[in-house]
A and B are shown apart, each in its own frame.
Chain A
Amino acid sequence: MVKKLMKGNEAIGEAAIAAGVRNYFAYPITPQSEVAEYLTWRLPEVGGTFVQAESEVAVGNMLFGAASTGKRVFTTSSSPGISLMQESLSYMAGAHLPVVLVNIMRGGPGLGGILPSQADYFQSVKGGGHGDYQLIVLAPSSVQEAVDLMILAFELADKYLAPVMIIGDGMIGQMMESVEFPEKYRDESNPDEKDWALTGAKDRKPRIVKSLFLNPEELEINSLTLDKKYREMKKSETRHELYKVTGDTKILITAYGTMARICQTVIDELEEEGISVGLFRPITLFPYPEKELFAEVIKDNIEYILDVEMSTGQMIEDVERIVKGARPIDFYGRTGGIVPSPNEIKDKIREMLKK
């Protein structure tokens, strides 16, 4: 397999093509505009199209229409743009549409800034739109993993008929790394027959894609159907990675995405000082690897948990919920687009050990 040196945003665009996407809808926003700049020439090479929409509100709703064809479709944006897509996310979840969205997060709230951030955890994982719904949320920590998770995202969207969100911070989008793509791209010439897709009511009854159920019994059934999917996801789709978690590990760091990667450097450097720290990195933020995290934290050697984020503390609420007071949890975070240096985190850990 050939390795290519690519910017994260461009690699995400290429990964979508590898996954069989031929239709992409987006609105320019820093720090992810390179995806559109890449796909605007790359999609026509494979017979696809890119529509530059008038707003992210329109993008989300274009995705609704495009996904109703049964074909694989996706968009990319950054935090303020993703806020504008919350309406359509709620509708697409309610209508059981498989779509993939990528949020290359920047600092907020409001217009915020354009530098890397992880402040959209609540919005992605806890649901930014109205109603009983969840998104599958995947968090890559390298350009290669962003590519791999793109491919997985489309598989999961199709499997569960649900929107999937990939959240990477600005670092993932802007960084250049060597990356490999699948040798065989998904063949789009003969897509699977989908019994819900709108293909024209020829020799069959009309199909309707909708999230409207005026009868409360029917609406409850739709919500329960969604809930059943989320339970199944929690059972079958959690993914995580451990780094240097051993029988000697005293402090377990919880971190995801770029932050987890920086924490690996912290762990390597502290290891040289004889301090044993391990990392628990969730790859699926919903469904969260709850049992897996709990199993690690209750091991006798674990004394503290340190949650590290590029936010003022969002994922920590899930960590606290899962740990249920079994171990003390401390937090270190920077926000506003500041990426914590390994030294800051090492200082924090040394301070914790003094207690």
Chain B
Amino acid sequence: MSNDANIIFERPTAMSDRITHYCPGCTHGVIHRLVAESLDELGLRERTVGVAPVGCSVLAYNYFNCDFMEAAHGRAPALATGFKRTRPDMIVFTYQGDGDLASIGMGEIVHSANRGEKFTTIFVNNAIYGMTGGQMAPTTMPLQKTTTSPSGRNVELTGYPIRMVELLSTLKTPSFIARVGVFSPMHIVQAKKIIKKAFRLQAENKCFTMVEVLSTCPTNWGITPIASTKWVASDMEPYYPLGVFKDYEEGEG
């Protein structure tokens, strides 16, 4: 029987056969997989270059089976710009966290989006700095406790969380900007469709595409993985609504 069995689920070719260093309950692994499946299904892996950020996914290059660059903190969009302008025939994506993209790399992401650079950004927002040990991020929720906001984020002193998708959607040039979640099977299926669409648009030579993914950090949030996915739904999603904010194909880009 085993010889005739159909394989119905396996590791995507675009993922390497390695155990990740991510904490239990972290959704980086799920998001990596959605990216890898999209590259496989669109047949892009062999001409794709990823750009890893600084943050928990700094070692993302170990988990993808495609060429990669490792950027300085926040500069992934600049590397992607330089690469794609020099090799427009390649597929380029950046994979960035909230500290990387929304804090130190704010300038690079805004201007890459506005120039309409033809790469895809996967923006993983878990409302905290993970790798450095749980400090406040620009996307940390009001009153959320972190090691640099131990009494909870005080918006009087630090402002409100930055909504990157809404901010970038005010720009005329980008072709596709969306926010998804991976905190339930239903959301994962939806997230896959949207991530795949972003890569398809890039392959069709459309301007800048970005998908923000609401993610978890049980380790630094100090709660269980299940409580974490619940917190994304109860506390993050109302502030960071899911959906497609800008779509070239719907005439909004």
Contact = CB atoms under 8 A, between A and B. Distances in A.
Contacts of B115: 51
B81 A201 contact: no
A201 B46 contact: yes
Interface in A184-206: 198-202, 206
Interface string B104-118: 000110110001000
9 contacts: A51-B81, A51-B115, A66-B82, A66-B83, A68-B69, A200-B47, A206-B65, A210-B52, A210-B70
Interface in A203-226: 206-212
A57 B61 contact: no
Given A88-B75, A201-B46, A65 B107 contact: no
Nearest to B61: A208
B82 A25 contact: yes
A91 interface: yes
Nearest to A197: B67
Contacts of B82: 23, 25, 51, 61-68, 73
B68 interface: yes
Interface stretch (B30-38, B85-93, B225-233): B85-93
Contacts, number: 131
Contacts of A83: none
Interface string B68-103: 111110010011111111110010000000000000
A67 B86 CA distance: 9
B179 interface: no
Number of chain B interface residues as a range: 35 or more
Contacts of A211: 70
B45 interface: yes
Given A58-B108, A73-B86, A65 B72 contact: no
A58 B107 CA distance: 8
B242 interface: no
B75 A49 contact: no
Candidate in B61, B72, B81, B86 with the most chain A CB atoms within 10 angstroms: B86
A195 to B, nearest CB: 13
A87 B107 CA distance: 15
A65 B70 contact: no
Interface in A51-77: 51, 53-55, 57-69, 71, 73
A208 B69 contact: yes
Contacts of B75: 57-58, 61, 64, 87-88
A303 to B, nearest CB: 50
Contact of B107 (A54, A60, A67): A54
Interface of A: 22-23, 25, 49, 51, 53-55, 57-69, 71, 73, 87-88, 91, 95, 198-202, 206-212
A67 B90 CA distance: 14
Nearest to A62: B82
B58 interface: yes
B72 A61 contact: yes
A67 B49 CA distance: 13
Nearest to A205: B65
Contacts of A200: 46-49, 66-67, 90
A64 B77 CA distance: 11
Nearest to A90: B72
Contact of A201 (B67, B80, B86): B67
Contacts of A55: 107
A55 B69 CA distance: 21
B107 A57 contact: yes
B64 interface: yes
A209 B70 contact: yes
B51 interface: yes
Contacts of B78: 53, 57-62, 64-65
Contacts of A60: 78
A88 B83 contact: no
A66 B111 contact: no
A206 B67 contact: yes
A54 B112 CA distance: 9
B69 A209 contact: yes
Nearest to A210: B70
Contacts of B84: 65
State the 7 A-B residue pairs at the shortest beta-carbon distance, nearest first: A65-B82, A61-B78, A62-B82, A65-B79, A210-B70, A66-B82, A54-B111
Contacts of A69: 83, 86-87
A157 B146 CA distance: 45
A249 to B, nearest CB: 48
A61 B82 CA distance: 8
Contacts of A51: 81-82, 85, 115
B12 to A, nearest CB: 14
A82 to B, nearest CB: 16
A202 B72 contact: no
